[in-house]
């Protein structure tokens, strides 16, 4: 196996690790932030991270399917953002509040 | 250091820093703008992965549309005051951070342990990639279109219907006057 | 590939080239401002700036000095960071997008090929659309950072308007993409070079005296695109974002001095992109009337009996002039329209975008696709 | 010529298009538009059927099978079902009947339903029915057939309860549906049994595998499977014991009764058995049961028909009785004769139902034949066509019914699986049929008018009389394609086209040595034929005399029979018996179970369990605190645990 | 794609813009606070009431949402459009044409619905 330089030889793993880092950031945001809209943004961040890995796989496996999947993910993400924001806005209009702690009506 | 590597590290830095600031900024507007920056960085990363058309779409859809919507909503409703940006609770907070950390650690570990297979994959696909990289546009978009419109035609039409449904639904949502159990 | 060239020399040339194009844009702005003021004066039957220098040409310099000496102001209520960032970011999308527009045939030397454009992007249209859609952030940042409700209102209006017309714009382009079958602007120009020829049902119609421009295939698309481009660059009759009577000056109410100038550069930059794209999509780009670039170079080589190298250089210059003329004509149309038409009301603006232009653009797309399908699927 | 795949696709999809066109604008009251769309859709299908029939005629006898498979529907391991359709000698007859008679009935409906508010919905349902019926008939596997089977059940339910604002009519629809469900459940189990036995549900493969069956005893898998399928058929085709829904189904619009409950859907059971004839032949016990059930249904329903006064009820019992004939035929192994009677019955019974519809329409929704009489002069065309249908059903030569009924009777007598008792039951049924049909004719069209003064009967319009005339013509000549050998040879070698056509597909019952020879006597055949015709004729004449010349005599006869008449008049109290014997005990049992068992034991036990769950729940409730992020955290922790398990393994 | 060039010129313009801001600051000087009104937001010559929570029509964000949805539908047409001619050449033209026409019908229906439901009405 030829010696690979981690810094200069950019391979699939680099993109995957970057994707994981971004995904974890998004996940941390979802878990920790309290603003509903920021939560939605963090979900978008997670989706973007996944997109990176899709495209990276697409390139390094020489198949186009990954890119098509990204296309679909983008559409779904946009749809999700639209609905999520519409919900957030209608909640805001009623409660004047977007703090996630305000919506704990799903209690058991 | 080759230019490819330089670009990757540069873009990785941009995306990670702006991603971090999405999570850490207490002002949601800064979060949104940082996220827009992340999107642009991701779009540039797509370019380094030879996905030119997707990079453009990423710009148009995410950076140009979705994030504009976010920023607009934040500005419309003046959501800049945020006294408590983060959730309370030390134990749950610790668990949350730990789970995120362990999860990313596990995946990164799995990815790096799978280095061998990854490199072999790279070598096997490199010939195809070289061709793609040289011929650039026509072949990738052609392949993309073929895949999208022939292999995934059902998904494509279904997405059309989904978008229609959401267009109808958001209009209905934005008109709703609130439910039956408002607080006041 | 990803970077700017293979050798240090090429990288340097490319870097200089991009900077050059950027400064050309920046420099064009004062000229346009002058043109606009003189032109408006001409249209409105008055003098306009005519004191400083011949025909008031030095007025620009005086303006620059005035801008420089203004004291730096930021409202207290606003967000200073965004307030200062916005004008800087206003420069970026316009310049980056403009650089993807080819302005002349490439200059070919023995070892290098220099493109007379900032850089060639193979998914040109998508790139330009994507980059110019980022302009909305500038406006929103300015509107929010000013902390004034006029600014915010203007920013929201402007961004809503921009995104509304982006639909019609994007859909009008679908016809162009269908016609040329590519995203690449250079390939589009090549498809339009030479004499008019049109293939249908296996027959080809040619007209050697007419150019093969897109306007002949896409007249409706061209009108829609141009109208949407007006709205995209917030020019009259679509300048609702800064409708003075309602919003003082829209999102740059609180701006002054050099920051204001940078917004102007951005706005004129969008105007230039629109003109450049108009030329590229519908009027043959840099190509000369009914002649291919190869024809032109051959003509230079034959009539002046010079070497290919020189002929190439001459051809580059000729094409660049041709492009500039076309480009200037559209810029003038922008200015002329501004001083001719009244402003829309906001509801009329939105109705026009969503209920008139979008359906027309859809119809244009469907008809174009149908015609292409029918004429090339059925070979008689 | 169009290829058969396209033809079959058009054949199937044309009614769907009609259904969608009408179904999507179901509020419209434009009966002309709705009727035209629906009729056109079925006529297109009919044209396709005719073209397919011509293609079959072109092919040589061994290759008359046009199969098409549109896509793979279900593929689970060995269980593979295609959306496949087959046009062969049997199914082409069915699609000709369905689309031919169907288009006539659609045409009739335009006139009949023109004043109705839900006319567009009505036509949409009719088209949906045609589509499902075509699937039932053309499906190449039992499961595909079952789709159509359920679909026609649904349409039948929708159309019986079409005027659902009348609760009695809605109840009739529900009764039909529930009764059919019982049969359908048996059908499904029958399919399971056959699949387990043969490993396929494709009918072609099933028929090919049939000769491998060894165990033909009562407990043999094939016997059980076919018996269950037959129970399904009794539900759909209104045989004892599940026939009770059909008379009630007359609550629907009359053209529906003609299409669904006389000509097409109710014959599905017969068709199914004919399709699977090799399998049924391997189960002689099932065949015996079918024959007995068929014969007894024929007689029993005919006796009930004697006493009914509702014009449609009489026809309904007549349908049940005639279906009994068909089952008798397939029960004795005369599958060709069964199909033949199916076809002729479709003609004359559709004719009579449409005729009764015309009468009801002309009488302004009056259905009681006691309030009719002498309609002959008001409705000449209806009367004349009805007369032809009457002659056909009572089996007068040379009308269609004669040939088919006679073929059945002869087969019941002579087939290796026949018996003279079955023949006797058939003749008895024929005699009774002749009597009550003549009674119907006499009370409705002949004799003195008993019509209410306020009612002014009138002849129906062209859109209603044209179908009547076409069907009347078919009732006359429809039987000539299957003239028995005895008569055919007497008249100069007229071939039995019907038998010839079906021959490659209909399996012959292996003759038992020394028995078939004795029966196959042509003089005996003629004698039996003459006997049945004469008896039926006498019965008809006596009925004619009784109900037109001596009007009091019917009451006397009724009195003379006394309790028996009462019993028959109350339909043998079958509905009541079902209520008393099955439904009420079930309800009572359930109620008692609820009172004693459920409340005392099960409830208490569940309460105890609930208490435990409640206690546990209140403990776990702390976890579900409405905090979405906490939930997300649980997900994250779960992923971490699973992932670490996978990775560290 | 000249990603390096794009990034280079982006950074260059950003630096240039920042330089201009600082240049103007240097030549023009910081604004002197001669009165409070000078630093208030602009308010037509009267004293500003400084209420930021002005009511802004919800239509803006509804427009943005609808824009996203329609924009994606348009984006879906791009790869189709750029390859339509070559698809025709390779014999799948009818299929491509039909599939996009179905999609366009959905699109048109959505647009028609939005117009009919007065979601795009500004008043």
**Nearest C-alpha in C relative to E22:** C72
User: Taking phi first (over 0 means left), then psi (-120 to 50 degrees means alpha), and beta for anything else, what does residue C211 get?
Assistant: beta
Residues of chain B contacting D629 with CB distance shorter than 8 Å: 87, 96
Distance from CA of B61 to the nearest CA of E (A): 7
pLDDT score at D188:
92
Same domain, D625 and D561: no
Same domain, D553 and D606: no
Q: What is the average pLDDT score of chain C? A: 83
Q: What is the average pLDDT score of chain E? A: 80
Task: Name the least confident of A49-53, C81-85, D501-505.
Answer: D501-505
Does A contact C via 3+ CB–CB distances below 8 Å? no
Q: Per the structure, how many domains does chain E have?
A: 1
Same domain, D484 and D614: no
Mean pLDDT score, D469-477: 90
Taking only the tens place, the pLDDT of each residue in D139-191 is: 989 999 999 999 999 999 999 989 888 888 888 888 888 888 889 999 999 99
**Residue E50, domain CATH:** 1.20.58.1610
DSSP assignment, residue D626? S
- Range from C2-6, C209-213, C310-314, D120-124 that averages highest in pLDDT: D120-124
- Per CATH, domain B3-130 is 2.130.10.10: no
Taking only the tens place, the pLDDT of each residue in D403-441 is: 888 888 888 888 888 888 888 898 999 999 998 899 888
Task: Name the least confident of B150-154, D468-472, D624-628.
Answer: D624-628
Partner-chain contact E62 B174, CB within 8 Å:
yes
- pTM (2 d.p.): 0.66
pLDDT score at D271:
92
Partner-chain contact A86 E65, CB within 8 Å:
yes
Partner-chain contact B53 C129, CB within 8 Å:
no
Residues of chain E contacting C153 with CB distance shorter than 8 Å: 54, 56
Taking only the tens place, the pLDDT of each residue in A63-106 is: 788 888 898 899 999 888 888 888 887 777 777 776 766 666 65
Whether C318 has a pLDDT exceeding 50, the answer reads yes
Same domain, D339 and D469: yes
D291/D338 Cα distance (integer angstroms): 11
* B45 interfaces chain A, CB cutoff of 8 Å: yes
* B102 interfaces chain A, CB cutoff of 8 Å: no
Largest CA distance in chain E: 76
Q: Which of B6, B56, B76 shows the shortest C-beta gap to C156?
A: B76
Closest CA to D284 of D346, D230, D357, D333: D333
Tell me which residues of chain E have a C-beta less than 8 Å from any C-beta of chain A.
Answer: 58, 61, 65, 68-69, 72, 76
* B60 interfaces chain A, CB cutoff of 8 Å: no
E114/E107 Cα distance (integer angstroms): 11
D243/D236 Cα distance (integer angstroms): 8
Query: Is residue D277 in some structural domain?
Result: no
Q: Tell me how crowded residue C156 is: count the other CB atoms within 10 A of its CB.
A: 26
Residue pair A53/A16 in contact by the 8 Å Cβ criterion: yes
Q: Which of D629, D633, D644 shows the shortest C-beta gap to B106?
A: D644
Query: Is residue D235 in some structural domain?
Result: no
Partner-chain contact D633 B92, CB within 8 Å:
yes
User: How much of chain C, in percent, has pLDDT values that exceed 90?
Assistant: 5
Please give the residue that has the higher pLDDT: either A108 or D136: D136
Which contiguous run of DSSP H or E holds residue B87?
A: none
CB neighbours of A41 closer than 8 A, spacing ≥ 6?
A29, B22, B28, B31, B32, B35, B70
DSSP assignment, residue B148? I
**Nearest C-alpha in E relative to B136:** E1
The DSSP line for D215-242 is --STTSHHHHHHHHHHHHHHHHHT-TTS
Query: Is residue D195 in some structural domain?
Result: no
At A15, is the secondary structure helix, strand, or coil? helix
* E89 interfaces chain B, CB cutoff of 8 Å: no
Does C contact D via 3+ CB–CB distances below 8 Å? no
Q: Which chains have at least 3 CB atom pairs separated by less than 8 Å from chain C?
A: B, E
Whether E44 has a pLDDT exceeding 70, the answer reads no
What is the domain extent for residue E101? Answer: 3-116
Q: By CB neighbour count within 10 A (0-12 exposed, 13-18 middle, 19+ buried), where does D10 fall?
A: middle
Mean pLDDT score, D608-626: 80
Taking only the tens place, the pLDDT of each residue in D441-459 is: 888 888 888 887 787 888 8
A-contacting residues in D 597-636 (Cβ below 8 Å): 617, 620-621, 623-629, 632-633, 636
Tell me which residues of chain A have a C-beta less than 8 Å from any C-beta of chain D.
Answer: 27, 30-32, 39, 100-101, 103-108
Residue pair C154/C249 in contact by the 8 Å Cβ criterion: yes
Whether D393 has a pLDDT exceeding 60, the answer reads yes
Query: Is residue E29 in some structural domain?
Result: yes
Taking only the tens place, the pLDDT of each residue in C30-62 is: 888 888 888 888 888 888 787 777 877 788 888
B-contacting residues in E 49-88 (Cβ below 8 Å): 52-53, 56, 58, 60-62, 64-73, 75-76, 78-80, 82-83, 86-87
Residues of chain E contacting A79 with CB distance shorter than 8 Å: 69
Confidence of residue D512 (pLDDT cuts 50, 70, 90): low
Enumerate domains of chain A plus CATH numbers.
34-99 (1.10.287.3510)
D408/D411 Cα distance (integer angstroms): 5
Taking only the tens place, the pLDDT of each residue in C100-125 is: 888 888 888 877 777 778 777 888 88
At D199, is the secondary structure helix, strand, or coil? coil
Does B contact A via 3+ CB–CB distances below 8 Å? yes
B52/C259 Cα distance (integer angstroms): 34
Q: Tell me how crowded residue C226 is: count the other CB atoms within 10 A of its CB.
A: 21
D569/D587 Cα distance (integer angstroms): 27
Of D83, D114, D140, the one marking the end of a domain is D140
Confidence of residue D320 (pLDDT cuts 50, 70, 90): very high
Same domain, D556 and D613: no
Please give the residue that has the higher pLDDT: either B12 or D568: B12
Partner-chain contact A104 D626, CB within 8 Å:
yes
Residue pair D53/D4 in contact by the 8 Å Cβ criterion: no
At C120, is the secondary structure helix, strand, or coil? coil
Mean pLDDT score, E47-75: 75
C166/B69 Cα distance (integer angstroms): 14
Distance from CA of D92 to the nearest CA of B (A): 35
Same domain, D542 and D423: yes
Query: Is residue D502 in some structural domain?
Result: yes
Q: Which of B53, B150, B164 shows the shortest C-beta gap to E109?
A: B164
Q: Per the structure, how many domains does chain D have?
A: 3
Residue pair C213/C284 in contact by the 8 Å Cβ criterion: yes
Tell me which residues of chain C have a C-beta less than 8 Å from any C-beta of chain B.
Answer: 1-3, 82, 121-123, 126-127, 129-131, 133-134, 136-137, 140-141, 143-144, 152, 155-156, 159-160, 163, 166, 170, 182-184
Q: Which of B40, B48, B56 shows the shortest C-beta gap to C127?
A: B56
Per-residue pLDDT tens listing for chain B (184 residues): 577 788 888 899 999 999 999 888 888 888 888 999 999 999 988 888 888 888 888 888 888 888 888 888 887 776 555 556 666 667 777 877 888 888 888 887 777 776 555 454 555 455 555 545 544 444 677 888 888 888 788 888 888 888 888 888 888 887 766 544 444 4
pLDDT score at D577:
79
Whether D40 has a pLDDT exceeding 90, the answer reads yes
What is the domain extent for residue D104? Answer: 1-140
Partner-chain contact B160 E107, CB within 8 Å:
yes
**Nearest C-alpha in C relative to B134:** C1
Whether D517 has a pLDDT exceeding 50, the answer reads no
The DSSP line for B43-86 is HHHHHHTT-HHHHHHIIIIIIIIIHHHHHHHHHHTTTT--S--B
Give the dihedral sign, CA D136/D141/D146/D147.
negative
Same domain, D528 and D602: no
* A51 interfaces chain B, CB cutoff of 8 Å: yes
């Amino acid at each position: 196996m030829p010696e690979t330089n981690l810094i200069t030889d950019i391979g699939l793993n680099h993109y995957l690790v970057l994707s994981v880092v971004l995904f974890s950031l998004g996940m941390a945001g979802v878990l920790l932030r309290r603003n509903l809209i920021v939560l939605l943004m963090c979900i978008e961040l997670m989706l973007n991270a996944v997109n990176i890995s899709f495209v990276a796989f697409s390139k390094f496996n020489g198949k186009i399917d990954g890119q098509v999947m990204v296309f679909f993910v983008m559409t779904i993400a946009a749809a999700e953002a639209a609905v999520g924001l519409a919900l957030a806005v209608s909640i805001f209009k009623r409660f004047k509040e977007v703090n996630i702690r305000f919506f704990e009506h799903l209690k058991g | 250091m080759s230019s490819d590597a330089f670009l990757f590290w540069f873009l990785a830095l941009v995306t990670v820093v702006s991603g971090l600031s999405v999570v850490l900024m207490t002002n949601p507007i800064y979060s949104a703008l940082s996220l827009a920056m992340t999107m642009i960085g991701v779009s540039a990363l797509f370019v380094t992965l030879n996905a030119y058309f997707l990079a453009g779409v990423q710009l148009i859809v995410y950076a140009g549309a979705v994030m504009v919507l976010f920023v607009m909503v934040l500005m419309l409703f003046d959501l800049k005051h945020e006294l408590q940006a983060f959730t309370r609770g030390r134990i749950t907070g610790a668990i949350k951070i730990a789970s995120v950390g362990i999860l990313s650690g596990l995946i990164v570990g799995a990815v790096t342990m799978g280095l061998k297979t990854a490199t072999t994959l790279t070598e096997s696909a490199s010939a195809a990639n070289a061709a793609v990289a040289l011929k650039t546009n026509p072949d990738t978009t052609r392949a993309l279109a073929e895949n999208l419109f022939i292999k995934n035609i059902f998904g494509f039409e279904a997405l059309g219907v989904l978008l229609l449904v959401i267009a109808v639904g958001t209009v209905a949502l934005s008109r709703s006057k609130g439910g039956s159990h408002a607080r006041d | 590939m990803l970077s700017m060239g293979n050798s240090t020399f090429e990288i340097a040339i490319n870097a200089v080239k991009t900077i050059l194009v950027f400064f050309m844009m920046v420099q064009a702005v004062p000229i346009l401002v002058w043109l606009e003021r003189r032109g408006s004066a001409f249209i409105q039957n008055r003098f306009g700036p005519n004191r400083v220098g011949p025909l008031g040409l030095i007025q620009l310099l005086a303006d620059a000095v005035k801008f420089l000496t203004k004291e730096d102001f930021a409202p207290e209520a606003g967000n200073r960071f965004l307030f200062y960032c916005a004008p800087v970011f206003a420069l970026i999308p316009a310049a980056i997008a403009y650089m993807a527009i080819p302005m002349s045939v490439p200059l070919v030397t023995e070892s290098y090929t220099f493109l007379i454009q900032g850089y060639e992007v193979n998914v040109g249209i998508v790139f330009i659309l994507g980059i110019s859609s980022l302009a909305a952030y500038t406006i929103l940042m300015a509107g929010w950072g000013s902390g004034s409700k006029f600014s915010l209102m203007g920013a929201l209006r402007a961004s809503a308007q921009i995104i509304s017309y982006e639909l019609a714009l994007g859909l009008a382009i679908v016809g162009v993409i269908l016609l040329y079958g590519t995203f690449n602007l250079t390939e589009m120009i090549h498809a339009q070079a030479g004499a008019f020829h049109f293939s249908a049902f296996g027959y080809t119609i040619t007209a050697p005296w007419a150019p093969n421009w897109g306007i002949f295939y896409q007249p409706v698309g061209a009108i829609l695109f141009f109208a949407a481009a007006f709205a995209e660059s917030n020019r009259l009759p679509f300048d609702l974002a800064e409708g003075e009577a309602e919003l003082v000056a829209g999102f740059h109410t609180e701006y002054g001095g050099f920051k204001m100038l940078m917004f102007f550069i951005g706005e004129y930059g969008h105007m230039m992109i629109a003109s450049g794209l108009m030329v590229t999509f519908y009027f043959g780009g840099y190509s000369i009337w009914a002649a291919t670039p190869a024809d032109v170079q051959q003509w230079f080589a034959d009539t002046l009996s010079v070497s290919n190298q020189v002929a190439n250089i001459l051809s580059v210059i000729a094409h660049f002039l041709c492009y500039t003329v076309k480009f200037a004509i559209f810029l003038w149309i922008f200015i002329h329209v501004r001083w001719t038409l009244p402003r829309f009301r906001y509801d009329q603006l939105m109705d026009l975008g969503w209920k008139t232009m979008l359906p027309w653009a859809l119809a244009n797309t469907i008809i174009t696709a149908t015609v292409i399908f029918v004429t090339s699927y059925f070979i008689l | 010529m169009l290829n058969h795949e396209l033809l079959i696709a058009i054949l199937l999809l044309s009614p769907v298009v009609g259904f969608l066109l009408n179904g999507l604008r179901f509020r419209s009251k434009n009966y002309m538009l709705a009727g035209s769309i629906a009729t056109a859709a079925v006529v297109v299908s009919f044209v396709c059927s005719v073209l397919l029939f011509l293609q079959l005629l072109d092919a040589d006898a061994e290759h008359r099978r046009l199969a098409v498979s549109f896509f793979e529907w279900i593929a689970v391991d060995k269980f593979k079902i295609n959306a496949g359709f087959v046009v062969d000698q049997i199914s082409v007859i069915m699609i000709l009947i369905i689309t031919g008679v169907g288009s006539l009935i659609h045409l009739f409906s335009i006139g009949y339903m023109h004043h109705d508010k839900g006319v567009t919905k009505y036509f949409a349902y009719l088209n949906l029915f045609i589509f499902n019926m075509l699937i039932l008939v053309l499906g190449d596997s039992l499961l595909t057939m079952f789709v159509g089977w359920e679909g026609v059940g649904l349409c039948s339910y929708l159309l019986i309860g079409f005027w659902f604002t009348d609760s009695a009519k809605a109840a009739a629809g529900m009764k039909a549906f529930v009764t059919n469900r019982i049969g359908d459940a048996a059908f499904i189990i029958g399919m399971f049994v056959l699949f387990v036995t043969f490993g396929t549900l494709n009918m072609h493969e099933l028929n090919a595998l049939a000769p491998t069956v060894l165990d033909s005893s009562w407990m043999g898998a094939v016997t059980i499977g076919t018996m269950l399928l037959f129970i399904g058929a009794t539900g759909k085709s209104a045989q004892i014991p599940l026939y009770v829904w059909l008379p009630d189904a007359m609550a629907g619009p009359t053209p529906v009764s003609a299409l669904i409950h006389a000509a097409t859907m109710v014959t599905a059971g017969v068709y199914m058995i004919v399709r699977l004839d090799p399998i049924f032949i391997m189960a002689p016990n099932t065949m015996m049961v079918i024959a007995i059930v068929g014969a007894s249904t024929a007689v029993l329903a005919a006796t009930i028909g004697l006493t009914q006064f509702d014009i449609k009820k009489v026809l309904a019992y007549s349908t049940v009785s005639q279906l009994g004939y068909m089952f008798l035929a397939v029960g004795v192994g005369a599958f060709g004769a069964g199909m033949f009677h199916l076809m002729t019955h479709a003609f004359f019974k559709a004719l009579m139902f449409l005729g009764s519809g015309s009468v009801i329409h002309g009488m302004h929704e009056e259905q009681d034949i006691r309030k009719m009489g002498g309609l002959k002069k008001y409705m000449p065309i209806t009367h004349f066509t009805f007369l032809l249908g009457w002659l056909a059903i009572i089996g007068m030569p040379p009308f269609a019914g004669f040939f088919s009924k006679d073929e059945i009777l002869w087969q019941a007598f002579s087939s290796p699986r026949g018996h003279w008792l079955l023949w006797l039951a058939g003749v008895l049924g024929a005699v009774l049929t002749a009597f009550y049909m003549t009674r119907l004719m006499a009370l409705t069209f002949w004799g003195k008018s008993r019509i209410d003064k306020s009612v002014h009967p009138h002849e129906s319009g062209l859109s209603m009389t044209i179908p009547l005339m076409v069907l009347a013509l078919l009732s006359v000549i429809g039987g000539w394609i299957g003239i028995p050998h005895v008569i055919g040879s007497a008249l100069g070698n007229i071939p039995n086209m019907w038998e010839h056509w079906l021959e490659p597909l209909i399996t012959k019952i292996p003759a038992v040595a020394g028995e078939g020879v004795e029966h196959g006597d042509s003089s005996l055949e003629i004698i039996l034929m003459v006997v049945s015709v004469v008896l039926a004729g006498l019965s008809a004449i006596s009925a004619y005399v009784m109900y037109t010349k001596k009007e009091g005599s019917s009451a006397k006869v009724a009195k003379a029979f006394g309790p028996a008449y009462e019993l028959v008049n109350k339909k043998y109290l079958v509905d009541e018996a079902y209520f008393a014997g099955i439904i009420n005990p079930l309800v009572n049992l359930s109620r008692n179970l609820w009172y004693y068992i459920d409340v005392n034991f099960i409830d208490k036990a569940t309460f105890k369990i609930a208490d435990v769950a409640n206690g546990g729940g209140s403990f776990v409730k702390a976890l579900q605190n409405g905090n979405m992020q906490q939930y997300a955290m649980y997900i994250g922790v779960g992923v971490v645990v699973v992932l670490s398990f996978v990775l560290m393994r | 794609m000249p990603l390096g060039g794009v990034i280079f010129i982006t950074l260059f313009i950003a630096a240039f813009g920042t330089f201009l801001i600082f240049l103007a600051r240097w030549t023009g000087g910081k604004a002197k606070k001669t009165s409070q009104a000078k630093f208030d937001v602009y308010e037509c010559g009267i004293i500003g009431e400084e209420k930021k929570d002005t009511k802004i029509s919800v239509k803006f964000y509804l427009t943005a949402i609808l824009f996203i949805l329609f924009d994606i539908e348009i984006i879906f047409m791009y790869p189709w459009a750029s390859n339509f001619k070559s698809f025709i050449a390779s014999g799948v033209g009818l299929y491509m044409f039909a599939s996009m026409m179905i999609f366009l019908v959905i699109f048109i229906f959505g647009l028609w619905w939005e117009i009919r439901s007065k979601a795009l009405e500004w008043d």
